[in-house]
Amino acid sequence: MSLRTSAIQRAILIWIAAFVVAVAVSTVGAPTPLAAAESPRPPAARVAGFEGDAEGGFRDRWHTHQGFVEILGARQKPPSAIRWRSAPVPAPLPAPSVTFVWTGALGAGRGGGGNFTISVNGREAAVLDVAIEPTRFVPRAEGCELLYDSVWVYGNGLDSSGHFFLTVPASWVRSGERAVLEVKGREVGSHRWFGLLRKDDAPR
C-alpha cells in the first residue's frame, strides 16, 4: 500500500466521522418519532378515550383512514378548543396510571410549535402539534405520556389519521367516573387542526 493510498483512506475515514457527528448534532431537539418496532404498550388500565359527543370546536367532514367521515375538532384559531368525555374509568383502578385511547386525526401541515395543549380533568398533560408520522409528544407533567400512532396520510401530505394514547397518573381520575379531556389550540392564526373520529378502531 502506497503512502498516497493510505493518506486517501485516512481522509475518507475523517470525513465519515465528521459527517456522523454533524448528523448527531443536527438531530438534537428534533421531534421524537416512534421507532417502527415500538408500539404503545397496553397498561393495566386502558380506557376508551372518547365516548358520546364533544362540546365546542368545529364539525366538518374530511378524508381519513376510515374514509370521508365527520371530524370533531379544534384549530389554532377560533374555534380553538374542544372538550369531550372518556368511558368510565375502571373501579377499582388496577394500576398506578390510566391510558386513554381514541381514534383521531391531525391536519394542514406539520407543526413544531406545540400549539395544542391536551388536559385531563383540568390538568395539562402534554403539548402537541400536527404530525403525519408516529410521534411521541412532549409531556407537561410527571407520569404523563402522549403517543400518536399515525396509520394513514392523505395524498396532500398535510393530513393524517390514526390512534392516540394518553397516559396520566391514576390520581388524576376517579374510579367509576368519566374523565373530561380537552384540547386547546393557541390562537396563532394557523389552519392546523386536531380532530376526533366517532368510530373507534384503536387497538385494545
* Average pLDDT per block of 10 residues along the chain, 204 residues long: 51 44 34 52 78 97 97 94 97 92 94 89 97 95 96 95 96 97 93 96 88
pLDDT at 9: 55
Tally of domains within the chain:
2
Question: What confidence score (pLDDT) does residue 41 get?
Answer: 54
Residues 82 and 183 in one domain: yes
Task: Label the pairing between strands 178-185 and 81-88.
Answer: antiparallel
Same domain, 61 and 139: yes
Instruction: Answer yes or no: do 150 and 96 share one domain.
Output: yes
Distances from the Cα of 61 to the Cα of 14, 57, 66, 67, angstroms:
54, 13, 11, 10
Do 25 and 124 lie in one domain? The reply is: no
What is residue 7's predicted lDDT score, i.e. its pLDDT? 55
Is 101 within 8 Å of 204 (Cβ atoms)?
yes
Domain that holds residue 159: 46-196
Strand blocks (E) in 31-144: 32-33, 46-48, 54-56, 58-64, 67-76, 81-88, 97-107, 116-120, 123-128, 135-136, 138-139
Co-location of 23 and 82 in the same domain: no
Cα 91 off chain centre by: 27
In this structure, are 159 and 80 located in the same domain? yes
| Rounded Cα–Cα distance for residues 76 and 193 (Å) | 7
Residue 30: what pLDDT?
39
**How many Å apart are CA 194 and CA 192, to the nearest integer?**
7
Query: Are 24 and 96 in a shared domain?
Result: no
Q: Which CATH number does the domain housing residue 110 bear?
A: 2.60.120
In-domain check, residue 201: no
> Which residue has 448528523 as its cell numbers?
23
Integer Cα distance of 197 and 170 in angstroms: 25
155 inside domain: yes
Tell me: do 59 and 158 sit in the same domain: yes
pLDDT score recorded for residue 114:
84
C-alpha angle with apex 115: 113 to 117, nearest 5 degrees?
130
pLDDT of residue 113: 73
Residues 24 and 93 in one domain: no
Asked, for residue 37, whether it belongs to a domain, the answer is no
Same domain assignment for residues 175 and 124: yes
Q: Based on the domain organization, do 25 and 53 belong to the same domain?
A: no
